[in-house]
Structure 1
């Protein structure tokens, strides 16, 4: 809330100007930043200009205008070529005398200058001074409506148009992931940090918030688009626990509510947060889905480097802490991430094999048949060749000894007498001799017959079964 005051110094100076019959001219705005300035306290009418080191910008009055005989307005436009600075103090002065006429204490605001990669802002600040005879004292004659344009209605219309466009996209409400999820730990209920939309207004909860619940009841998210004419507008959010609650107006601002959870008498929680968008928009549904909806924890994903992205891990068979990553622990109860190096994924067979069980590589059982063609070669003859007449070696020199009767005639004078005896006798020796053998032209017949040969098939192939492939790492999300 801003604080405004016309200073005593101005009142004294204005009186002197009237005596001197000189117009009351206020021609300069002064902007300053006062550390520790309490904008909830009224402005001291004796306040003076801040010290020079606190003044961040000075600029001539851009426009003046008369509202009525007793009210005039001064305005300044600070272009996007000015900045950067913060300010929480604005003063209207007469530059010639340095008389401070009017002071405003405001919430700290930022003036940004156009720069590379930075869009500057344009600020318009106006001060209306109301006192008796203001029009005559200042000699201002230009009606303010000729240059003072009230953009309030137009800006409000732009804001509401954007809100309604979000309603077309997100419906009455939509939430991302666990944003604004009501949960309980022991006996304490809390609302989970995250984001969502209610009535087209984006509601962000930076951290978990504990709530008190008297069951049965519903937990409502209450959102409001609010701000001041000179401040940044934003969505204000609060949690209300009530049986029923409807949209309402407060301080001229509409509040939109949505029940995010219902809590039964026994303390059980029913999540009422819609997570889809307007079904008519098709792909728009994806915009409100959390990562757990699109990619549940535990699904292996191919990744092209050895460095996983943040909150992901390589699947190399390592252990993990299930208390730190409970969702991953639900997917892998052993607390060990499967080692997917050199592995492929196979759908679970109907044979009853366990999920996540390992199987070695192998070929399907089969046999090989092999044979050589069987051919009856019949009876074949060798080639005919005439070896002619050949002579054996010379040998066989020998004699024979035998026992038998010996007969001889003994002559005694002219008388012959025959004598017969027995003894051993030897034949005359036969000499060495050889034989001549005629071989002649001849051939041999060979029977081959039907037969077969054994065949050995040589080993071939890789060390393991594989297909054409590109090596990726498998990664899994940590949560």
Structure 2
């Protein structure tokens, strides 16, 4: 009948609650949907999975157990004033999975909206009966929750009837007793403005803005030390070792004058007066002895420019003839660093530069031959014949430096 309004659990809702009780878990209701029934009342059925014609949905505001029946769960949602223009005839409750847990028939209520010239917030309340209310809980977003007048009144009434009225302390808020005392050390009471004024007036009368004190009235002045500020006695001597007195400017000047007189800004010393001069080594600076030799292995002496020049000249002379270059030599006395070209082999690893000239590791046998290049004119031919006619003996030598 159109005059009977109620809320029932859907088949899906019953199954979820039964499963939650069996597994000692909870289902979380989160959303309320309202519909207009397509212009007429609807009779809720357990098989429904949605309202007939949804016109609005929003987050639940509260979910509580009825005080006079622990099996009744009351869900509330507030339809804001900016939406409307339709009637409310059906109400549904959804869990966090979007499952329709309960469906209800609601008294026909018109919800106006602001553009129509009137507005109001409507609190929609749905009551459903469950076997165990502990199986149902509410999941809400605190940023959109609105406290209804009834909720505030109930909360205030509950608070007034309870004994949860904590006293204020230094670490928490609470109730406290006022006190006019100005000499109390109680930390559980609050001073009144009168007590504060009394203390202020007393302090103001005790110490004028500008006043003086005799030195002997000042107590507890610390002595100055190396670790703290304080008062110190002056000392005019220049040979004191005190660490608790302060030197006078006169003492400082006397010490400064003596220091200036002791060491002129420009002075000399004989070499014999200089002590502790270190020797120069590979790891430190110091004095060293010069060495003119070019074959020394010393690491504690310094080479002279003459020794450096001699070594440089020898190196330049050595590099003037590349390693392996054949050279005509008219004497049986072979110069140092050279050898006759007699077809001998050599170790390429021991003579890498020579191996560049002769990659085969074999020196050509030039005995009975003279050095000649690839002919480009008849001039070389006449030279060779002239050397043969005049019986000039030429030996081929090569440089063998490593």
TM-score (norm 1): 0.27
TM-score (norm 2): 0.31
